[in-house]
Structure 1
């Protein structure tokens, strides 16, 4: 019978830190804002009844006044 003991330390593991620059964060925020505005514009002015009604019902379910 043999007993195996592990005395290894976890000091070998390196921690990965991800840093983003201000420019990267502003770029991501700008693209997210453009995407959001595009979706709102598409749903609000869509001539497709299903899309417009889905957006309208979503606003009502969130208690957002729309008319």
Structure 2
């Protein structure tokens, strides 16, 4: 009895199939917008705890903040 050596092939989609520009751009744009919202939402938050947490992360990752 032989064992399969690879993953099962999905005939509907192949990793080698090129994606259209919109299919690649849409997730990248969504990630960028989410990142900006999170950064500015936390950085300018009314809660001092959220602001201080973001501030501390900037210091830990050696990024200027002042």
Instruction: Please say whether Structure 1 and Structure 2 have the same fold, judged by a TM-score greater than 0.5.
Output: yes
Bigger Rg, which one: 1
For structure 1, the residue ranges without an aligned partner over 5 or more in a row are 1-5
Q: Any stretches of 5+ residues in structure 2 without a counterpart?
A: none
Dislocated runs of 4+, deviation >2 Å? 13-16, 18-21
Task: Give the C-alpha shift of residue 39 in structure 1.
Answer: 0.4
Q: TM-score, normalised by structure 2?
A: 0.75
CA RMSD across the alignment = 2.0
In the TM superposition, residue 53 of structure 1 has moved relative to its aligned partner by 0.3
When normalised by structure 1's length, the TM-score is: 0.74
